[in-house]
Amino acid sequence: MNRFVVIAALAGLAFGATARAQEADTLTPPSQSWRFAGPLGTVDQAAAQRGFQVYADACSNCHGLKYLHYRDLSGIGFTAAQIKEIAARFMVPAGFDNQGNVVTRPATAASPFRPPFPNDEAARAMLNGALPPDLSLIVSSFPNGPNYIYALLTGYQDPPADVKLADGMNYNPYFPGHQIAMPPPLNEGDITYTDGTASTVAQNAHDVVTFLAWAAHPDMVQRKRIGFGVVLYFLGMAGVTFALKRRIWHGVH
Partner 1 sequence: MTSGLAGWVDTRLPIVTLMRKEFGTFPVPKNFNYFWNFGAISMLLMVVMISTGVVLAMDYMPNAAEAFGSVQHIMRDVNYGWLVRYLHQNGASMFFIATYIHTFRGIYYGSYKSPRELLWILGVVTLLIMMSTAFMGYVLPWGQMSYWGATVITNMFAAIPFVGDAVVTWLWGGFGVDSPTLSRFYSLHYLLPFVLVAVVLLHITAIHKVGSNNPLGIDVRSPQDTLPFHPYYTIKDCFGLCVYLALFAVLVFFAPDLFGDPTNFIPANPLQTPADIQPEWYFLPFYAILRAVPNKLGGVALMFGAMAILLALPWLDTSPVRSARFRPIYRPLFFVWLASIVLLGAVGAHKPEGIWVILGRIGTIYYFGHLLVVMPILGRFERPLPLPDSISRPVITRNALPRGASVAEIRP
Partner 2 sequence: MTGMQTAPIGPSDAVPRRDILTLVALTGAAIGVAGYAWPLIDFMNPSKDVLALASVEVPLEAISPGMGITVVWRGKPIFVRHRTDAEIQQARNTPLDQLSDPQDDRARVQPGHEQWIVVVGICTHLGCIPLGNKPSEMRGNLGGWFCPCHGSQFDTSGRIRVPPAPSNLPIPPYTFESDTKIRIG
Rounded CA gap, 245 and 241, in Å? Answer: 6
**12 to 51: interface string for partner 2, x by CB under 8 A:** ----------------------------------------
Q: Which helix (H) or strand (E) holds 179?
A: strand 179-180
5 binds, among partner 1, partner 2, none (CB under 5 to 8 A by kind): none
Query: Which long-range contacts does 44-47 make (Cβ < 8 Å, 24+ apart)?
Result: 44/210, 45/76, 45/77, 46/77, 46/195, 47/206, 47/207, 47/210, 47/211
- Does 230 bind partner 1 (CB under 8 A)? Our answer is yes
* Residue 248 binds partner 2 (CB under 8 A): yes
Site for partner 2 (CB under 8 A): which residue of 85, 110, 147, 228?
A: 110
**What is the β-pairing status of strands 102-106 and 170-171?**
unpaired
- The residue ranges of DSSP E strands in 22-109, in sequence order, are 91-96, 102-106
- Round to the nearest angstrom and report the end-to-end CA distance of the chain: 20
Which residues of the shown chain bind partner 2 in the complex (CB under 8 A)? 69, 71, 108-110, 230, 233, 236-237, 240-241, 243-244, 247-248, 251-253
Which residues of the shown chain bind partner 1 in the complex (CB under 8 A)? 3, 6-7, 10-11, 14-15, 18, 20-21, 39, 67-68, 72, 133, 136-137, 140-143, 145, 176, 216, 218-219, 223-224, 226-228, 230-231, 234-235, 237-238, 241-242, 244-245, 248-249, 252
